Structure 1
Amino acid sequence: MRTTLFYICSLATILSVYSCKEPIYSSGKNPITLESLMEEMVSVEAEPCFPVPFFTTKHVSSYDRRSVIPGTPSWHANRDNTGFVRYEANNGRVEKVLFDEKGPGVLTRILTTGGSDGANLRIYFDGEKEASILLPAYDISLFPLDIPEGLLYKHEHYSTTQGSSFYYPLPYAQSCKITVDNVDRDYFFHTSCRTYPKGTKVQTFTLKDGEALQDKAQKLSEQLMYPKTYTENPETKEARLTARSSLRMKLPDGEKAIRSLSIHVSEIDSACYASFMRNLIVKISFDGVQTVCVPLSDLTGAGMGAPAVRSYYLEADGKGHSKLRFVMPYQREAHIEVENISENSADIKIEACISTWKWYANTLYFHAGWKQENGLETNRGLDYNMGTLQGRSIFKGDMLSLYNHCPRWYGEGDEHIWIDHEEFPSHFGCGTEDYYNTTFAPIHPYFNPFGGAPREDDEASRGYNTFVRTRNLDIVPFNERLQFDFELISWDGGQVDYASTLFWYGDLKTKMTNISDSKEALYALPPAIYTEK
């Protein structure tokens, strides 16, 4: 990402940032363009920086518009393919308007589901009389440009539903409107967007721009799908970790950053692997404050059972070797600790690869928090709080790991993300599966650069399931507070055991307010359910 350094020139600005150094800007005098957004998507330098200028985010979906008042029976209304903005006439056609936002802004993620032959999806930029983007069959994967695999994920059920997730950024200077022209059908629909302050320079997307940047898009796709792990300047420490013991490693002092963190677990009894990986608690402290305290299995996005994970930020082989590629800067000092809260033993090796790092006024620390709740009742009008964050931060991703005691699908509930002082969530989805980029309940584990489903034991969704999602351009910055809930709705009713991990960047005062005590990770895992695949 192109970055421009500006010196802070007013006392008010100085008081609004975290140190007396100049901030690094995510966008300055240069306009935000398709090319700059591609660069930002994989920019290590920009990743831990609070965006300047600040942008707001929104998630517009087809959720049931009867959901108006939290806590009332209609809040869990579930006809989630019926919502839209309005009808309008365009060039002799009647169209459903699915998305209509003022800019300057960027579309960061689009999801379409449901086979809809005969319907056309149109994207209008900056008040166009006729849409410059026309997609047949209501299928975002038919975008009129060759979108590389790393930016377009076709869902497991694509052959029957045409469900796809589209991460190719589409910037617009003034406005963006998305419509569909077969108004006699209902459609599942998701679009996430950024909105910048008025006056921010944004260059509207054109197909000509996309064609000129095809090589860059392909390289970006390869970076996302096959991320390179930073391996220079490794700091290591290893030991035999016996029952109720810890391994602690101090990192070099000064302005530096953890560029990759690997934790290797070996010489472990295979019979207790699943529980042991959960009973290793990873604690990371920066500049005297602990910002991470999460079971190892959940910190890597694997969840209960610690299966394999493969994504841009998170990686695990399902055999004890885990890797995080989040950049983790600090100003003075850092410590990493792995605590064994179980009665079992194994060999543990911590490896952190370090680089120098320039700390700016808007540089933030890496955080991760974890919680678990068991015996949650579905279909009782309840929401599960994935986590609530306080303090100026960037929400970077999450993991949901669970045991489903219900006979069938548990994840019918929508996500709600409330930012700062919102009275209604600006992020309102239409199902757990869509939030994690799959059209219907998965029947196999799957991965893409932005997460996936590391675990799915049963085609009826019984037993163990894990979803993980990390964010590149679709990060969610906020100034004071973020609350993330999922409605607890299943097909049949019953109970679920949920564990969630949130990843974010914030200052040292930022916190997740409702974390679980580490001892909750001693929860006895129920027996797995397996069926023929």
Structure 2
Amino acid sequence: MRKLSLWLIVFVFLACEEEKKSVSYLEVVNKLTDLKALAKLPESGENSAMWSSYDRESKIDPETGEFIKWDANNDGLKPQFIRKEGDKEVLAEMEGPGAIVRIWSASPRNGQVKIYIDGQEEPVVDLPFIDYFKPSIPAFDFSELVYETNARGFNNYVPITYKKSCKVVAEPGWGQYYQFNYISFPEGTEVEPFDSQLKETNRAALEKVNSFFAEDMGESPYKSENPVAQIQEQVSAGEEKQVYKLNDAGAISSLKARVTIKDSSKTEEILRKVVLKIKWDGEEEAAVWSPLGDFFGTSPGWNEYKTLPMGMTKDWMYSYWYMPYEDGAEIIIHNEYGEDVEIEMEIAHESLEEVQGMGRFHAKWHRDLEPLKEERWPDWTLLETEGRGRFVGTHLNVWSPKGGSCSLGGPGQHWWGEGDEKFFIDGEDFPSTFGTGTEDYFGYAWCIPSVFAHAFHSQTQDNDNMGYQPMNRWHVIDNIPFQKSFDGYLEKYFPNHWPTQYATVVYWYLEPGGKDPLGQVAVEERYGYETPFEVYREESVVEGEDLKIEKNTGGWGSDVWTHEDLFKEVSGHKILIWNANPNNKNELVTNFEWPEEGTYEVEANIIKSKQGGEFTLKLNGTDLQPINFYSDSDEQKTERIVLGTVQLEPGIQNLVINWKGQKEDGKNLRLDYLKYSKK
């Protein structure tokens, strides 16, 4: 009997050992491109979360559930960390098997940041924080995974794996703002720990991903070739037409579309008024419902870009989201444009014998859902859904024609993109993902509107934050699994009537029978809804914000939004600001291009304030009238000043500004524009 019991114990032990899952570093790297895996419903214990420099004054009272300072916005302007150990700051701390899968910062600097894994005394990475975004070690020598975007966001998508635990510790001078996204595996998973030098198989895996992103972006990430259906349909005005039907069990692996548009001025209208609908398994309600253009990740109109799962090229809009179904699928086009449209599609799909354990792909467009309770301001709802699934991303289109500065916006008044993302998983009391700003969520920084596209994020128009700003963020390796519910929000400080208006498509997988609360949106609510606004712009001027700074031996200088009270008097709503530093030489060397020869009277539009100082100006070596930017008024005010007469030749013009003051004098310069009137 004792012998039998012993054998039983051994059998159970061996069975448990066989069930214990192991994950190699190569397998984690493959998650960077494995879109098919996103369709698999998450296991218990599978999680995704983030540590960031969000403002710790935002809290939820654990006893009352009251939201405290929920709009706090000093995300990086004062130290924000978990705790201090001596003079060091703990930025992130994780328990259990997992991996850091994304590191982001707006301003990494030279202070050391150390990553400790599995309780080891020596850090597995020990670098100045700025070097986390450079090819500083072999593991970071992959330019499509470690980079700074055109819009000044620093990103690192190289996985840093650990078996038991991870802690990120920063020394003084590390920088400002951070995000560490990480995934956790079910308890007991054996994970191959990170090695910064990389063994050959792991280096090859990262190189393969990097090469695909560099050379083949826009191509299908799937290895197998699936049958492709070619579709060409005319859909009459007002018609809702099934353009393709699939039977039995299978999955769509590629969906491409284009519309014949004879008049390019109608592109935006057509792509908003023609709707894509997809139904799974004979369901009455569509799981995919979106204006055609928005579904493919950019709006308004046709904006070329390429990311891993979505894009627009010269020829096609494409989607590579993997979309399983058990009992057929219907692809429907609803034409609410006033004329017939011709649409072409290419649909790659495969048959599957088994789809159990797979979610159904959902994508829904909306503008404004039911507002939350006042205590939740400024949270704006992205998605609230119930069941088991994964959140995999969002396309956000912002309409904000005035630009920055909005006193109605509370702490986020400086520009529209201050709002943090907040993701509550499975009814948690406090969001396990709490961001530092909307532009940070989309992978860039400092409200820079420059166009960029990388595998997991993009910004596809640049209107200087004074018009449309379309952005994407895809959660692939950092997808957000949930067992019961996902509640996702973006802080939106600027109100609709400012006007700052959001439209979004949210993308997620959900188990059959899960709750998708998002319905259809009437055509008049999705096209032409934007509140118009005409920005005041003075003609024949050189805008202060357009002066190119070649040299600055003073203090901080940049282009900024002026105060909203001056929007009717400040051209373009932006100015050049410069602050003198009494300890420096205080010379600002700028230039601009002028097209025509002639003699010109120079006039400046300036903003005076109590902080204003006295400055001299020299244009192409000719002295202009000095400017005193001081005012004893508590409110800023504009003033036009004639600076003199100059002779200009076509080409580059040099403008040198110097501070004239003493240490106790005002030090601030605020220049709206220089106007050149031909004499």
Query: TM-score, length-normalised on structure 2?
Result: 0.68
Aligned-residue offset at 1:495:
3.1
Write the letter of the residue equivalent to 2:155. Answer: S
* Matched-pair identity in %: 25
SS at match of 1:213: helix
Contact 1:396/1:505 (<8 A) preserved: yes
Distance in 1 between residues matched to 2:147 and 2:426, nearest whole Å: 31
> In the alignment, which residue of structure 1 is the partner of 2:186?
197
Aligned residue in 1 for 2:83: 86
Q: Tell me by how many angstroms 1:269 deviates.
A: 1.9
Partner secondary structure for residue 523 of structure 1: coil
The structure 1 residue matched to 2:509, chosen from 505, 511, 525, is 505
Partners in 1 of 2:489 and 2:43 — Cα distance?
A: 28
Rg larger for:
2
Return closer, same or farther for 1:277/1:157 CA change in 2, 3 Å cut-off.
closer
**Which of residues 153, 163, 176 is equivalent to 1:187?**
176
1:169-188 matches, cutoff 5 A? 169-182=159-172, 187-188=176-177
- 5+ unaligned residues in a row in structure 2: which ranges? 1-17, 405-414, 538-542, 547-679
3-state SS, counterpart of residue 288 of structure 1? coil
Structure 1 equivalent of residue 116 of structure 2: 124
Measure, in 1, the Cα distance between the counterparts of 2:271 and 2:35. Answer: 29
Shift of 1:491: 12
Pairing of 1:87-102 with structure 2 (within 5 A)? 87-89=84-86, 94-102=87-95
8 Å CA contact 2:42, 2:483 repeated in 1:
no
Cα offset, 1:168, TM superposition:
1.0
In 2, Cα distance between equivalents of 1:445 and 1:208: 34
2-structure distance, mates of 1:475, 1:284: 22
Could you say which residue in structure 1 is the equivalent of 2:380? Answer: 384
- 1:235–1:353 contact (8 Å) kept in structure 2: yes
| Cα drift, residue 37 of structure 1 | 0.7
Q: Which residue of 2 aligns with 1:427?
A: 433
Q: Give matches, 1:91-490, under 5 Å.
A: 94-117=87-110, 119-142=111-134, 143-145=136-138, 146-158=140-152, 163-182=153-172, 187-209=176-198, 212-225=201-214, 226-227=216-217, 228-229=219-220, 232-289=226-283, 290-317=286-313, 321-373=316-368, 381-408=377-404, 409-457=415-463, 459=464, 461-489=465-493
**RMSD, aligned α-carbons:** 3.0
Q: Residues 470-498 of structure 1: CA distance to partner in whole angstroms, max 9, x if unpaired? A: 12110111011111111123599933111
Structure 1 distance, partners of 2:55, 2:35, is 38
Cα offset, 1:124, TM superposition: 0.7
Give the Cα–Cα distance (whole angstroms) in 1 for the partners of residues 147 and 534 of structure 2: 28
Aligned to 1:47: 38
Q: How many angstroms does 1:379 deviate by?
A: 13
Seen in structure 2, the aligned counterparts of structure 1 residues 73 and 255 have a Cα distance that, compared at 3 Å, is closer
After superposition, the Cα gap between the structure-2 partners of 1:406 and 1:232, relative to the gap in structure 1 and judged at 3 Å, is same
For the residues of structure 2 that align with 1:528 and 1:224, how far apart are their CA atoms? 39
For 2:295, give the aligned amino acid: L
Report the Cα distance in structure 2 between the residues aligned to 1:157 and 1:259, rounded to whole angstroms. Answer: 32
Cα distance change of structure 1 residues 73 and 495 upon mapping to structure 2, 3 Å threshold: farther
Q: In the alignment, residue 65 of structure 1 is paired with which amino acid?
A: R
Measured in 2, the distance between the counterparts of 1:53 and 1:382 equals 32
Amino acid paired to 1:61: S
Cα deviation 1:117-166 (Å, max 9, x = unaligned): 3x1111111112231211124442135224312222312254xxxx4111
Instruction: Please tell me the residue identity of whatever aligns with 2:122.
Output: E
Contact 2:250 2:355 in 1 (8 A): no
For structure 1, the 5+ residue unaligned runs are 1-26
- CA pair 60-166 structure 1, distance change in 2 beyond 3 A: same
Query: What does residue 19 of structure 1 align with?
Result: none
Q: Hey, what does 1:12 align to over in structure 2?
A: none
Q: Distance in 2 between matches of 1:381 and 1:43?
A: 37
C-alpha deviation, 1:390, in angstroms:
1.6
Secondary structure at the aligned position of 2:416 is classed as coil
**How far apart, in 1, do the equivalents of 2:321 and 2:533 lie?**
31
Letter paired with 2:101: T
Map Cα deviations across residues 286-324 of structure 1 (whole Å, 9 max, x no partner).
11122111111111110223422310000113x683111
Q: Does the CA-based 8 Å contact 1:372-1:516 persist in structure 2?
A: no
Letter in 2 for 1:130: E
- Higher normalized contact order (CA 8 Å, seq sep 6+, divided by chain length): 1
Q: Is the partner of 2:418 in helix, strand or coil?
A: coil
Q: Distance in 1 between matches of 2:108 and 2:37?
A: 38
Letter in 2 for 1:330: Y
Question: How big is the shift at 1:336?
Answer: 0.3
Cα deviations by residue, 1:259-304 (Å, 9 ceiling, x for unpaired): 1011110133212111110111100011112211111111111022
Q: CA deviation at 1:254?
A: 2.2
- After superposition, the C-alpha distances for 1:194-227 in whole angstroms (9 at most, x for unaligned) are 2223212112111243565222211112234424
Residues in 2 aligned to 1:209 and 1:251: alpha-carbon distance in whole angstroms = 47
